[in-house]
Amino acid sequence: MTSTNMTREKLPAGDCLCNYCAAKCCRYFALAIDTPDCAQDYDYMRWYLLHEHASVFVDEGVWYILVHTRCKHLQADNLCG
């Protein structure tokens, strides 16, 4: 498997875009959460972060909880199984 910034436009005829995937999005998921606006909201966020493999981030003003966990269908070759 080749790891590169392959795009559909550069894909050789007959090749599969999945062959160039590093499967980054198959190693976590993120869900939007309400923007914290009181002490209790921050307490909930602290509780989230007490769990292994959990992170909180803000992207373009939207708050997310991110869980670093591998998809159970991800195979060693980074393809879905």
For position 4, what pLDDT does the model report?
Answer: 60
Q: Determine contact, residues 64/56, Cβ cutoff 8 Å.
A: yes
Section 7-27 average pLDDT: 85
**Residue 8 domain flag:** no
**Residue 6 domain flag:** no
Number of domains in the chain: 1
Residue 58 is part of which domain span? 25-81
pLDDT at residue 1 greater than cutoff 70: no
**Residue 79 domain flag:** yes
**Residue 20 domain flag:** no
Section 8-18 average pLDDT: 85
**Residue 76 domain flag:** yes
pLDDT at residue 63 greater than cutoff 80: yes
**Residue 59 domain flag:** yes
Strand-pairing partners, residue 59, are 62
pTM of the predicted structure, to 2 decimals = 0.73
What radius of gyration, in Å, describes the C-alpha atoms of the chain?
17
**Residue 81 domain flag:** yes
**Residue 17 domain flag:** no
Q: Determine contact, residues 42/36, Cβ cutoff 8 Å.
A: yes
Who's near 59: CB < 8 A, 6+ residues apart? Answer: none
